[in-house]
Amino acid sequence: MQLAAEFPPSTRDEWRRGVDRVLAKGKSDLSQEELARRFERELVTSLYDGFEVAPLYTAADDGNDDVGEGLPGLPPFIRGATLLAGTAGGWDIRQPVDLTPSDPAKTGSEVLEQLERGASSLILRTPLGGTDGYPKIDVDALDTILEGVYLDLITVSLDASLGPGAAAALLGVWERRGVESSQARGVLGMDPIGERASRGPGTDLAATQRAMISTAQRCSGSYPEVRTVVVDVTRYHEAGCSDSEELACAIGTGVAYLRSLTEAGLSLAAAFAQIEFRFAATADQFLTVAKLRAARRLWSRVAQACGNEAVGAQRQHAVTSRAMLSRYDPWVNLLRGTIACFGAGVGGADAVTVEPYDLLVEPGFVSELGRRMARNTQTILLEESHTAKVIDPAGGSWYVENLTESLARESWTFFRSIESAGGMVAALESGLVADRIEHTWQRRLANLAHRKDTITGVSDFPNANEEIPVHAAVTASAAGLPRRRYAAPFEELRERVDAQSRRVGARPSILLVTVGSAADYTARATYSKSFFEVAGLATDTLDVDDALVPGTSKVACLCSSDARYGEMDPTVVRRLRALDLSRLYMAGKQTDDLAPLVEAGVDEFIGVGCDVLESLRGVLTVLGVE
């Protein structure tokens, strides 16, 4: 079908001329250099991965010419690891269950609930925050946890946070239950290098490596549906890395495991078959799709370099990002999780885990509604939206193909740096990986602070009156990679204000002083109200001509239009300063025309592009919020 047959063909140059007319905003005397600057500023997005995303892609931008789209199930596996991916029932709904080692029966009841209500497999893990050591899990405890589960039908996946003992316990349960080795389905979750990254240098890497190798030797050939090793790079994602850095760490870790397994006697094919990869899926659906496609391309490249391209079909488990979740306004997490799950499914993940929307509200407790919504998100996408009915639905999109190739190339460059440093373990010990992630995090933090990256319900459209349970912050080991969330810097301010509000019975208040007519001040008064509510502060609005008495507030903010500011007499500012204000803000951009008002007592300007975090920290200091 020629859907646009009745329209004349258009060229990129014609499109660009149309865009330039919009960017010119009615001005006909703008130079090409100025139009180009506006185009870059308004329409081109710079990613943390070191390359840019353009507003339009055509066949000329297909960055995959040297590889070709390929076919599902064939190298380079960009379009899927198997021919049937996405057609035979869709991806595996792998739902998490947090273990309570002291009460296996309680964990077992949640296991059955998840399976009875829609999950097709499980991932057992420690609760959010984990422990310094590994929990004690033996065969008896795990047998109780899995009581009533048909272990020849259900895939049981273990998280590396459970330790090597959990892998031995699961193998023991299969033997105790008499499960045929050919029917056992599972992922033993052994990730020594990942645990070293999370827990720091104190981790006994050599011991966990030996346990991984011996377990892989035991499973290879005997348990065809069991994978011993998980390359879990969600830990790097939570530390703040970019998507290409996450992929590079995945490939670097995977190659290190291939070396260990083949040196221990496993064949190349057997070593590849023992490894599963776990990636973070985010609310940027296109980056999630491209990341999973690029990951398969990279792993296929590793197999090609090893001399057997056919064994490089990567098994992928996608987990919705914890870094993107928020404690405040947790309902928005439902939307984030849905988009991330969609991206993971479209990207070709073999298994998907959706985190409950209220995972962070009260750590250690997830509501039944949270678990149900996490399951049903996947069920709706599979059974009602038919997301898995088409193999690689994003394939052929010039944007997605270009993004996939750009991610793959940038990841391969960093992977080569890791290899040049001596491999993944050496790169961790030297600080190469941590330093690279820290650099990316600082860039991300700056964008969060200036609200270039926005967090709905936290840094944008906050509900200042929302009350959530008090809890201790969840952090990673001081010796390992940090665990970060994008909303955390803003939530720290909210928690400080909430704590003081509970102590004194009222929220600290900001006085918004409006000047002029409603048309003059409404936009900036609305902006300022939302600005201060990001920190949970209350706002009171009064007209500048109202009778204001000293002590009304320690902090005030003038709100009006640029034109009205230009006409304002500096005595207005002096009158406000006479109210014993500790700080006076003005909503808008500081210009030379406003110098008389600054001299009269305006301390700071707030507006689009300002450092919101720094400004709000200053406000809380002035208000005495500890």
**H or E element: which one contains 324?**
none
pLDDT of 278 above 70: yes
Q: How confident is the model at residue 89 (pLDDT cuts 50, 70, 90)?
A: low
**If DSSP states are collapsed to H, E and C, what string results for 340-374?**
HHHHHHHHCCCEEECCCCCCCCCCCCCCHHHHHHH
Closest CA to 218 of 164, 143, 139, 256: 164
Which range is least confidently modeled, 69-73, 196-200, 572-576? 69-73
pLDDT of 283 above 50: yes
pLDDT of 247 above 90: yes
pLDDT of 587 above 60: yes
Closest CA to 273 of 314, 306, 329: 314
Class of domain 92-427: alpha beta
pLDDT of 1 above 80: no
pLDDT of 87 above 50: no
Domain ranges of the chain: 12-61, 92-427, 508-623
Between the alpha carbon of residue 258 and those of residues 234, 249, 301, 353, the distances in Å are 20, 14, 14, 26
State the burial class of residue 41 (Cβ atoms within 10 Å of its Cβ: 0-12, 13-18, 19+).
exposed
State the burial class of residue 67 (Cβ atoms within 10 Å of its Cβ: 0-12, 13-18, 19+).
middle
Helix pair angle (332-347, 285-305), 10° resolution: 40
List, for residues 502-543, the tens digit of each pLDDT value: 999 989 999 999 999 999 999 999 999 999 999 999 999 999
List, for residues 591-607, the tens digit of each pLDDT value: 999 999 999 999 999 99
Tell me the Ramachandran region of residue 501: left when phi exceeds 0, alpha when psi lies from -120 to 50, beta otherwise.
alpha
Percent of the chain predicted with pLDDT > 70:
96
List, for residues 139-163, the tens digit of each pLDDT value: 999 999 999 999 999 999 999 999 9
| Mean pLDDT (whole number) for 558-567 | 94
User: What's the pLDDT score for residue 491?
Assistant: 95
State the burial class of residue 486 (Cβ atoms within 10 Å of its Cβ: 0-12, 13-18, 19+).
buried
Percent of the chain predicted with pLDDT > 90:
81
- CB under 8 Å to 435, separation ≥6 — which residues? none
State the burial class of residue 283 (Cβ atoms within 10 Å of its Cβ: 0-12, 13-18, 19+).
buried
Q: How confident is the model at residue 86 (pLDDT cuts 50, 70, 90)?
A: very low
| Mean pLDDT (whole number) for 402-419 | 97
pLDDT of 580 above 50: yes
List, for residues 11-26, the tens digit of each pLDDT value: 899 999 999 999 998 8
The identity of residue 157, as a single letter, is S
Closest CA to 286 of 575, 45, 566, 86: 45
Q: How confident is the model at residue 69 (pLDDT cuts 50, 70, 90)?
A: low
Residue with tokens 């984030």: 336
Q: How confident is the model at residue 100 (pLDDT cuts 50, 70, 90)?
A: confident
Q: Say how many residues make up the chain.
A: 626
**What are the tokens at 125?**
């893990």
Alpha carbon distance 458, 487 (integer Å): 7
| Mean pLDDT (whole number) for 241-253 | 98
What mean pLDDT value characterizes the chain? 92
| Mean pLDDT (whole number) for 121-150 | 89
List, for residues 209-245, the tens digit of each pLDDT value: 999 999 999 999 899 999 999 999 999 999 999 999 9
User: What CATH number has the domain spanning 508-623?
Assistant: 3.40.50.280
**What are the tokens at 80?**
């899927």
In this chain, the answer to whether the domains covering 92-427 and 508-623 adopt an identical fold is no
Alpha carbon distance 392, 385 (integer Å): 15
pLDDT of 88 above 80: no
Alpha carbon distance 445, 453 (integer Å): 9
- Residue 418 in 3-state DSSP? helix
**What are the tokens at 65?**
């010419």
Output 469 or 345, whichever has higher pLDDT. Answer: 345
Q: How confident is the model at residue 129 (pLDDT cuts 50, 70, 90)?
A: low
pLDDT of 422 above 80: yes
Residue with tokens 């939206």: 385
Between the alpha carbon of residue 300 and those of residues 309, 510, 589, the distances in Å are 6, 58, 52
Closest CA to 192 of 172, 220, 214: 214
**What are the tokens at 429?**
């010990």
User: What's the pLDDT score for residue 84?
Assistant: 65
- Residue 43 in 3-state DSSP? helix
Strand segments, DSSP code E, in 135-195 are: 155-158, 186-190
